Homo-oligomer: A and B are copies of this chain.
Amino acid sequence: MVTKAEAADLPENADLRRADSLAREIFSDIANKWALLIIEALGDRTLRFSELRDEVEGISHKMLTQNLRLLERNGLLERTVHPVVPPKVEYTLTEPGRALRVTIDGLCEWTQRHLHEIEASRHRFDT
């Protein structure tokens, strides 16, 4: 991830810049509350749409669909449609998805560890 603009705009840098913009795009896709919570909720399990909606507290039908599509498009999860009535669609993390999950676990752990510290800081700031 390149955060600083490169000085020269030589043709040789074209692929570098392309990779960077792609990285940015991916980053934007996954660095969002719902996507992360869905990945966490899924974990190692295989869940149906409605199960996922129950697991991810507060997510709307629409947001769930939208983010599931996004994650599927990026190859983080697999969508399996069972041709039965009523319809049954299951979601499970792919290998890249599970790898990502490990780093998200770290994020959650960090949050838990610093919960009180952050709360205190907020209180200080707000006065």
Contact A118–B96 (Cβ < 8 Å): yes
Interface size grouping (class) on chain A: 35 or more
CA distance A119 to B103 in the complex (A): 20
- Chain A 46-69 residues near chain B, CB threshold 8 A: 54-57
Contact B32–A125 (Cβ < 8 Å): no
Contact A121–B73 (Cβ < 8 Å): yes
Query: Is A22 an interface residue, CB under 8 A from the partner?
Result: yes
Query: Is A31 an interface residue, CB under 8 A from the partner?
Result: yes
Q: How far is the CB of A111 from chain B (nearest CB, A)?
A: 5
CA distance A125 to B26 in the complex (A): 15
Q: How far is the CB of A84 from chain B (nearest CB, A)?
A: 24
Contact B111–A1 (Cβ < 8 Å): yes
A102's closest neighbor in chain B, by CB? B106
Contact B99–A40 (Cβ < 8 Å): no
Interchain CB contact (< 8 A) of A125 among B40, B56, B73: B73
CA distance A27 to B38 in the complex (A): 13
